Structure 1
Amino acid sequence: MDHHAPTLRTSTAEMSILSGHRRDDSDHRPPFIIRPAGSPADLDAYHRLRRTTFVDDQRIFASTDHDEIDDDPRMIVLLAHSLDGGVLGGVRLAPHGDTDIGWWTGSRLVVDGAAHSAGIGPALVRAACAHAQARGVLRFDATVQERHRPMFARLGWESHGSTVVGGIAHRSMRWPLHGIQDVADATKSFLAEVLDPLRAQSGGLGPDGFRGDDGVPVPGSDIIAACDAIIPSMVERDPEWAGWCSVLVNINDLSAMGAAPSGMLDAVGAPTRSLLTRIIRGIAQASQAWGVPVLGGHTQVGVPASLAVTAFGSTSTPVRAGGASAGDAIRLTADLTGSWRPGHHGRQWDSTSTRSGPDLRTMTGLVAAMSPRAAKDVSMAGIAGTTGMMAEACGAGAELEVASIPRPAAAEMGSWLTCFPGFAMLTAEAVDRPAGLAGHPVPDGVVGAVCGSLTSEPGVRLRWPDGVTTVAVTAGVTGLGRA
């Protein structure tokens, strides 16, 4: 983000996130407002400002600072406008490379020479960071002039080496993004502490080797049991979908352990008979689609909305989440058909409600067919968080190759790695014994690929095409430790 140096007369604490205006008792009006470029005239003003600064004044470029990013239709330009509409500064950001894998860069940060003291430079940087975060970006880089490094450092940017551009010393900087960590913390980090009293009983939290698993072997049998609840707000807002998902998540749990599902019990409550009927309708549709009957349960009306399902299946060789070790390859097998569920954009991907029964039942048997060393279905912790859970159960960490992760074209990488993806299974296998789907029937749209490995270092890291790794999850996701 090369830019003409502003004079920093205000502290970060004194500046609002977009205006950079000093707050005092005499004037509460911001001198500028930041918004995306909205017209060709806005862009022309921004380009003239860039030319004056980078070509005429600083001579970083010989004749023009125009480059391929300016021609990228995905590029976003944020401009600082004066109250009368004039352009006082701007910055651009865009995906790095032809395919957007969640790696973006910011560049061409420029401020009008007459507006240096207004705090526009820092405000544009913060606005770009906020925009990148809102877009689910996983890595946000910039190359800035060395003399501006202290400003970026004060704004929280990290330095990652030096370079020279146009004969001027520059610094490679990165804005730390914690979206994956935040999802993992919100959905799973409390489990160890909350569940600790259950460990006191013999067999509590499952037999040795299965702690933290998706389902649990019933002692003395080949039965696998799984149980999941749906959050009440989702039951109230989208009852048929909640009913469908209550079956889906349990079938996925059994599938991840290589178990063939045989039956379910449900516990359903609703404040009205109408809502109760819609919930049951969703359960029944899913039960029919997967061919797994609801054997009984508990149904109540006149109570707050609630929904939980317990499912049963069987296998004599259950696949553990913690059965692999450092050095093993990580594979993601996912259904890439479908779309975001209406009302849940970026959080829930629906690939199952339009599938045929035979397709759904085929997917149920994929982990058993692969017979991997370890497996886990992707839960509300998302692909990255669930990778961390599987690695934790294995007593390991994980590294994911971002560019190798199977992903629907309509899902941005940041959302895909943190959403509930419908049907997605993470498996771990010895590198010399591929556990892929070759030779097994797979419905169209179901894709599997090796996209990482288990490591000796705790947590989850993302490896990018340039060889750089960034931390997605710092340590164990649940705190339950090795299974």
Structure 2
Amino acid sequence: MNSEMHVLSAAITSTTELDCLLQTVAQRSGISLKQDIAAVSKRLAALPAGWHANGDDTAAIPLGVNAEQGYQLLAIEGMQGSLVTEQPWFAGWCAVMVNCSDIAAMGGRPTAVVDALWCDGDSHILAELLRGMRDAAEHLGVPIVGGHTNLRSGEANLAVSILGHANKLLSSFAARPRHLLVAAIDQRGAFQGKSLNWNAATRAPAQRLRGDLELLPHIAEQELALACKDISQAGLLGTTIMLLESSGCGAHVDLAAIPKPEDVAMEDWLCAFPSFGYLLTTTAEQLPQLLATFKNRDIHAAVIGEINSSREMWVSQGEQRSLFYDLNESELTGFS
């Protein structure tokens, strides 16, 4: 655990069952990977006036005066090297899928993807990466329109970039005190091998996946939610910290309220990277319709907490309560 990561567990000073769980999650989930972003965020130049702030799931470039034509969305995702070499088909699939998820998290619809592929001449890895990308693109209805190829690299790597469009934005900068925090996660899946990747996508019908992703732009356009963030490798709690950092807020999260498969341990679920998993904030008035929107497509969604102005993230389980992260003391990504 690095020195910055110690801030997370240093806030946990007692020895309750909850404290032990949170210490494990802080060390095991991908939260520390998100701290690397701060090394970049501090060095970025200011954006043009009127543009959406950096630090969201995608860039959001306003189209027309006051974005009357919506927003052009742009994002990129790089795959972990071990996933590329050990599960190349799944890495290719995920590269397309996570980009589509990022577009959806912003209230958008995907337009097209391009890839940057490096390979060391291993024909099997190359073929499987391409097959995975092609299968996901066909399944999700987003074309691959070009890219960069290097087959003389010392190792295999893959990154995929996506273009999309949103009529109305969802954004992790839009959470406000008294908003309700909602988690929506597709539980119709399983962990991929021994990883923490919760795969509810590769065996799902194409039309179902496309319809599920369409929920997010529908929610944005109907104004059923205000803020949204795709649950990433930082896990549910780590992703919550990122949302709070962007919005300058705090929150209380109740673990017992989190939608979870009965046969999955809470520790594993809090560290999971779900193929369909989103955190949203909404008002009490819009909550019933938001929850019904997910329920109508058999996706579990529930209120798991409430946003406040403290910039602290507290977690409870029964009568136990612990401070998980204090943004007043330590930034995570540096985007706020």
Normalising by the smaller structure, the TM-score range is 0.7 to 0.9
Which residue is 2:286 aligned to?
433
Choose the corresponding residue for 1:454, options 307, 323, 326: 307
Deviation at 1:440, TM superposition (A): 6.6
Contact 1:395/1:481 (8 A) holds in 2: no
Q: Which runs of no fewer than 5 residues in structure 2 stay unpaired?
A: 1-11, 65-70
Contact 2:51/2:60 (8 A) holds in 1: no
Choose the corresponding residue for 1:315, options 166, 169, 178: 166
**Structure with more of its chain in helix, by fraction:** 2
- Correspondence 1:41-120 to 2 at 5 A: none
Q: Secondary structure at the match of 1:349?
A: strand
Choose the corresponding residue for 2:148, options 274, 298, 301: 298
Q: Is 1:472 paired with 2:324? A: yes
Which residue is 1:158 aligned to?
14
Does the C-alpha gap of structure 1 residues 217 and 479 become closer, same or farther in structure 2, counting only changes over 3 Å?
closer
Question: Bigger relative contact order, structure 1 or 2, given CA contacts below 8 A and separation 6+?
Answer: 2
Distance 1:481 1:279 in 2: 32
CA deviation digits over 1:93-145, x for unaligned, max 9? xxxxxxxxxxxxxxxxxxxxxxxxxxxxxxxxxxxxxxxxxxxxxxxxxxxxx
Which residue is 1:342 aligned to?
193
Does the C-alpha gap of structure 1 residues 416 and 207 become closer, same or farther in structure 2, counting only changes over 3 Å?
farther
Q: Secondary structure at the match of 1:454?
A: strand
Distance 2:273 2:241 in 1: 15
Deviation at 1:251, TM superposition (A): 0.5
Does the C-alpha gap of structure 1 residues 354 and 477 become closer, same or farther in structure 2, counting only changes over 3 Å?
farther
**Which letter does structure 2 place at the counterpart of 1:158?**
S
Distance 1:248 1:274 in 2: 21
Contact 1:363/1:442 (8 A) holds in 2: no
Which residue is 2:247 aligned to?
394
Deviation at 1:208, TM superposition (A): 5.3
Which residue is 2:54 aligned to?
211
Deviation at 1:378, TM superposition (A): 0.4
Deviation at 1:194, TM superposition (A): 2.9
Does the C-alpha gap of structure 1 residues 173 and 437 become closer, same or farther in structure 2, counting only changes over 3 Å?
closer
Distance 1:355 1:479 in 2: 33
CA deviation digits over 1:171-209, x for unaligned, max 9? x996585233333542212322333211xx3318x9655
Which residue is 1:248 aligned to?
97
Does the C-alpha gap of structure 1 residues 209 and 455 become closer, same or farther in structure 2, counting only changes over 3 Å?
farther
Distance 1:394 1:188 in 2: 17
Contact 1:369/1:440 (8 A) holds in 2: no
Deviation at 1:362, TM superposition (A): 1.0
Q: Is 1:180 paired with 2:25? A: yes
Deviation at 1:210, TM superposition (A): 3.0
Does the C-alpha gap of structure 1 residues 481 and 266 become closer, same or farther in structure 2, counting only changes over 3 Å?
closer
CA deviation digits over 1:295-342, x for unaligned, max 9? 111122131111011111111211111112111100011100111101
Which residue is 1:108 aligned to?
none
Deviation at 1:394, TM superposition (A): 1.0
Q: Secondary structure at the match of 1:158?
A: coil
Contact 1:267/1:307 (8 A) holds in 2: yes
Choose the corresponding residue for 2:214, options 365, 371, 392: 365
Contact 2:52/2:60 (8 A) holds in 1: no
- The structure number with the bigger radius of gyration is 1
Distance 1:173 1:191 in 2: 28
Distance 1:174 1:265 in 2: 43
**Which letter does structure 2 place at the counterpart of 1:315?**
A
Which residue is 1:59 aligned to?
none
Q: Is 1:381 paired with 2:246? A: no
Contact 1:335/1:447 (8 A) holds in 2: yes
Distance 1:412 1:173 in 2: 14
CA deviation digits over 1:20-67, x for unaligned, max 9? xxxxxxxxxxxxxxxxxxxxxxxxxxxxxxxxxxxxxxxxxxxxxxxx
Which residue is 2:42 aligned to?
196
TM-score scaled by structure 2? Answer: 0.85
Distance 2:192 2:15 in 1: 39
Deviation at 1:458, TM superposition (A): 1.9
Q: Which runs of no fewer than 5 residues in structure 1 stay unpaired?
A: 1-155, 161-171
Percentage identity across paired residues of the two chains: 27
